[in-house]
Structure 1
Amino acid sequence: MAIPIIVHKVILYSSAVVSVFGNGLLLLLLAHRNSHVLGKYRVLLAMFALTDIAISLFDAWFIPIFLLGEYGYVFFGYGSLFLEQTLGKIVNVTYCSSFFVPFILLPRFLQQHFGIFIFISFIYSTAYVAAIAYIAYTICGQKATDQFSYVMMDYANMSAIPAPNAFPVEYIDEIGSLRTVIVIGVFTSGVLCGKSIIVCGVCIVKILHSFKTRVLEIRTRHLQIQLFRALIIQFIIPVIFYFVPFCIIVGAPLAGVSFGQLGNVCSITSSVFPAIDPLLIIVSISRFRHTVLDWFYRATGRKAQRNEKKTKEMSRIHTSMVAQKRTATLD
């Protein structure tokens, strides 16, 4: 049974609204004077916030549909299914490229570990997306078999003229021969993702080691740890919401069994990422949390009450520290 399109729309539209709000809030926080201490990392966060907004809005219009068959799958955008074929192909390739954008984790870790320039990060990111787009365009040009005509009946007639802008990815043709171009393309895409994840994993270990060996001022060290924590979040979330669904989509058909709507579950899961990402980053960095709370108290007219509470807390801490020093002196 097909997942109703209305379910896709509700989830994708809701995700887009939360993404625009969350990433918009993150951009405001990055522009705030309290965030200037983050340095170049502000630029990277701003770039990915804007990218998250673009991806969520694109997904809400595109409405990606994945149907898993035997030794292959088909995907298309419900919003672009009946566009002119050339434009439809470009849109499908654009979606493929945007699906892999969250895997561009490498520059962020390399920048923190080796101090590489943002320009180099931009070159790497552009080359990465271009490689994925080329692979997707090559696979998109392959002729499809008739196995998906039945599963597509809930959405469109594959025999219609002009044909719907569906994007079949089949590992085996009608006579049982391996489709080398498609297999190599999918495998290469997986390798690009896996390579980024492995390199980021190595950088995580090295950065953790550097925290133990480098001597930093307490405030600087605390800030670096928070930035690193945000970086870890930006690493783990794409792995869970993109890499795992990607592996299921391209790997499940290899069993020779049609899993059908499982592909849609994976695509919906991936579309939630742009909404979750900014909220977790805001929570992980104390400066962002404090600024948001400050705005909230200002908006609700409780700023003075909060300042009084903070003053009492600081006074209590100061009194406790003085008492400890006196006790130590007497001893």
Structure 2
Amino acid sequence: MLSSNLVAKCQTFFAGAAVFLNACLIFLIVKKSPKQLGSYRYLMIYISIFEIVYSLIDSVVSPTILSHGSTFAIVLRKTTTFLSEETLFILGCEWCGCFGAFMFIFAIQFIYRYLVVTSKSKILKSFDDWRMIFWILSPIILGTIWGSLAFVYLSKNSETEDEIRSALLSEIDVPLDNVVYMGATLYHKDSDGNKSIFVNTLIMISFKLTVLTVSFLCIFFFASLTLLEMRKVSTISTQQSKELDRIQSQAFYALISQSCIPVILMHFPCTIVFLASVFDFDLGTSGGISAITFAMFPAIDPLPVMLIIQNFRGTLISVVTTPVQIITKTRNV
């Protein structure tokens, strides 16, 4: 496993970068968004705030993902925070909840993009009035369920305690007294080597894999429909509507790029850990790497939006080049 100090430093660095970049993106959305984006601005601000909250929790709890045979655990280091074990454990559950809500947020954004392109006004209006609260609350509710499952099924219990402690001792480089851990074991092996399944762990893994699968299918389905509709619209667009099509196209491709980042850095490693537990496979030293990729996600995720949407990109280029131009003119004088 990677050094725990190195992992903690990386998590702190990426948390700072995530807060700064998402704050910059929120500023750009508020001040520089094209009017044609409509209520989509609020969805972009929503996910930026969500990513800031996630990155702050991540920097406090400094989670490291461990996989050892059929055991998986989230290790939270007490030495990196002044919080009590109980508070740290609750924050760990909230971290899990944020983790579970992200892909659902992106799924909602793809639904919105499809509704805009197809002009399905009846449903689209739900993003413009008081019903918007239901779109906002649904990922939070899902994240709460995800975090509650972590609180119930990843807590210490007599059935899985020995397996988890054995896995921790063989994988982490800090004493167990310095960590809080939340974990579960899928199989129990008796003295004869026979396996029995812990049903609670199986229920939790099944729920989380189901949520991820449904979110991915929803994203793929609505992204495909949106792309097809955009191609149809582009063939019959008038000169007046081309500007709107261009902005909607930029928002769509920015969303695709933005959605790929958590898939690669968060959900793919998480799925690998879950499947490794199912097949009783030891991932060895990969836990520290996944902890870094989880922290990296909210720092990288704002970049596609900032760079692909022309209004945002132009503002950033202006901010970077203006001081250079001033310095150059001063030297010439």
TM-score band, normalised by shorter chain:
0.7 to 0.9
**Residue of structure 2 equivalent to 1:135:** 149
> Could you tell me how far apart the structure 1 residues matched to 2:143 and 2:33 are?
33
1:213 equivalent to 2:212? Answer no
Q: Deviations over 1:179-199 (max 9, x none)?
A: 111111111111101101101
Q: Quick check: 2:95–2:147 contact (8 Å CA) kept in 1?
A: no
Unaligned runs of 5+ in 2: 116-123
Q: Quick check: 2:85–2:180 contact (8 Å CA) kept in 1?
A: yes
Q: Quick check: 1:253–1:259 contact (8 Å CA) kept in 2?
A: no
Question: How many corresponding residue pairs?
Answer: 300
One-letter identity of the residue aligned with 1:130: T
Q: After superposition, where does 1:83-162 map in structure 2 within 5 Å?
A: 84-104=84-104, 105-114=106-115, 115=124, 116-117=126-127, 118-141=132-155, 143=157, 144-153=160-169, 154-157=173-176
SS at match of 1:177: strand
Bigger Cα displacement from structure 2, 199-208 vs 138-147: 138-147
Bigger Cα displacement from structure 2, 48-57 vs 239-248: 48-57
What is the Cα deviation at residue 85 of structure 1? 4.4
Bigger Cα displacement from structure 2, 144-153 vs 284-293: 144-153
**Residue of structure 2 equivalent to 1:169:** 184
**Residue of structure 2 equivalent to 1:326:** none
Q: Deviations over 1:26-81 (max 9, x none)?
A: 11211214544422111111111122122122212211112211211121211479
Q: Deviations over 1:130-176 (max 9, x none)?
A: 2212221221246223233344343233xx6xx95211210013533
> Could you tell me how far apart the structure 1 residues matched to 2:226 and 2:290 are?
32
| Aligned partner of 2:253 among 229, 235, 246 | 229
One-letter identity of the residue aligned with 1:129: G
Q: Which is higher, the Rg of structure 1 or of structure 2?
A: 1
Unaligned runs of 5+ in 1: 306-331
SS at match of 2:65: strand
Q: Which has the higher contact order (CA 8 A, sep 6+)?
A: 2
**Residue of structure 2 equivalent to 1:292:** 316
- State the Cα RMSD in Å: 2.5
What is the Cα deviation at residue 239 of structure 1? 1.2
**Residue of structure 2 equivalent to 1:329:** none
Q: Quick check: 2:163–2:185 contact (8 Å CA) kept in 1?
A: no
Q: Deviations over 1:212-267 (max 9, x none)?
A: 23344110010010010111112211111111111111112333343232122222
> Could you tell me how far apart the structure 1 residues matched to 2:202 and 2:98 are?
21
Equivalent pairs: percent with the same residue?
Answer: 20
**Residue of structure 2 equivalent to 1:188:** 207
Cα separation, partners in 2 of 1:35 and 1:287, compared to 1, 3 Å? same
TM-score computed with the length of structure 1 as normaliser: 0.82
